[in-house]
Amino acid sequence: MYNVCVVGATGAVGQEMMKILEERNFPLNELRLFASSRSKGKALEFKGETLTTFELNKDSFEDIDIALFSAGAGVSREFAPKAAKAGAVVIDNSSAFRMDKDTPLVVPEINPESLSYHKGIIANPNCSTIQMVLVLHPLHEKGRIKRVVVTTYQSVSGTGLKAMVELRKQSEAVLNKEEVVCDVYPYQIAFNLIPQIGDFLPNGYTQEEMKMVRETQKILADDSISITATCVRVPVFISHSESVNIELERKINPKEAREILSKKEGVAVVDDPSKLLYPTPLDGAHKDLVYVGRIREDISTENGLSLWVVSDNLRKGAALNAVQIAEKLVDKGLV
């Protein structure tokens, strides 16, 4: 049995972590909840009991075995090393340590062997990266991917609870012909799209787009894969969708691709155009799998495939992947 803490327990991902720990019956001795000074003292339900959130400080990690972080990169940079020094294994959902060469970046269905090399901190990949690499991985093993072109359609829950509230309020305002207020996003998100996630970088890409490039190469352990991404925020509450185009060294036809993907752990193929079967964000919401459909040959290039990928960004894209990492640590005796 293990002492586990959730840092950022009152946020969307933190609450999902608690839910998944309960659903999967993680071997808990004690669960401690930490939040900011604004949220300390808040009561949260877990396994029929009421737990109180405490303010995070440097002494919060005494006797903690596993620390699940979901409070943002700044908090992680400050407190994750303190947790690791206190003896906890940190599973961090922020971008703080993902590209650190000494920090494993792990999707358990792809590279669980990387966990053996952790030095106290393990990085959870970006939500949009996780669902894409789960689909890319088996195809890369069979045909070696040379290039990826991805466009994402990312839900507001990726920004957090405040963004979900903003989408609801803006939608009501538009329908009621009232003034639309923008606090979380620079533009109205209700009935609109925003082709920017994260700050713009000198190369014209956004932070989110470059996360997908670098993280994919690291997880698949292949820097030779060329990747370009366009990340778009859409007026959907939960689940990210992605249009993924890949070019392979060896031709894989759509039928073979469906067979390969149907055997991949964590992936479900929903693909029958004759019956209008393909995954939508609503299909992926509150589910653990990554769904793939619209699998077709790219008629514009040799050895190309186009795919449509959907997954719940709060679950497999964040909380579930983190808990699965914790489960692997337990199974391998690494904690």
pLDDT tens string 83-117: 999 999 999 999 999 999 999 999 999 999 999 99
Please give the average per-residue pLDDT across 45-61, as a whole number: 93
Q: Which pLDDT does position 39 carry in this prediction? A: 82
CA distance 169 to 288: 28
Q: Which pLDDT does position 309 carry in this prediction? A: 98
Q: Which pLDDT does position 38 carry in this prediction? A: 83
The domain ranges of the chain are: 2-124+318-331, 129-313
Q: Which residues are catalytic?
A: 127, 240
Per CATH, the homologous superfamily of domain 129-313 is: Dihydrodipicolinate Reductase; domain 2 (3.30.360.10)
Q: Which pLDDT does position 301 carry in this prediction? A: 94
- Band (pLDDT 50/70/90 cuts) for residue 36 is confident
Q: How many CB atoms lie within 10 A of CB 302?
A: 9
Residue 189 has pLDDT above 90, yes or no: yes
| CATH value of 2-124+318-331 in 3.40.50.300, 3.90.1150.10, 3.80.10.10, 3.40.50.720 | 3.40.50.720
Please give the average per-residue pLDDT across 19-25, as a whole number: 97
42 burial via Cβ count (<10 Å: 0-12, 13-18, 19+): middle
Q: Which pLDDT does position 54 carry in this prediction? A: 94
- Band (pLDDT 50/70/90 cuts) for residue 246 is very high
- Band (pLDDT 50/70/90 cuts) for residue 43 is very high
CA distance 119 to 9: 24
Q: What is the pTM of this model?
A: 0.95
- Band (pLDDT 50/70/90 cuts) for residue 187 is very high
Residue 40 has pLDDT above 90, yes or no: no
Residue 37 has pLDDT above 90, yes or no: no
Q: Which pLDDT does position 179 carry in this prediction? A: 97
Please give the average per-residue pLDDT across 34-47, as a whole number: 89
Each residue of 317-333: pLDDT tens digit?
A: 999 999 999 999 999 99
Q: Mean of the per-residue pLDDT values for the chain?
A: 97
Please give the average per-residue pLDDT across 274-292, as a whole number: 97
Contacts 24+ apart (CB under 8 A), 95-98: 95/126, 95/207, 95/211, 96/123, 97/121, 97/123, 98/123, 98/125, 98/126, 98/211, 98/214, 98/215, 98/218
Each residue of 116-161: pLDDT tens digit?
A: 999 999 999 999 999 999 999 999 999 999 999 999 999 999 999 9
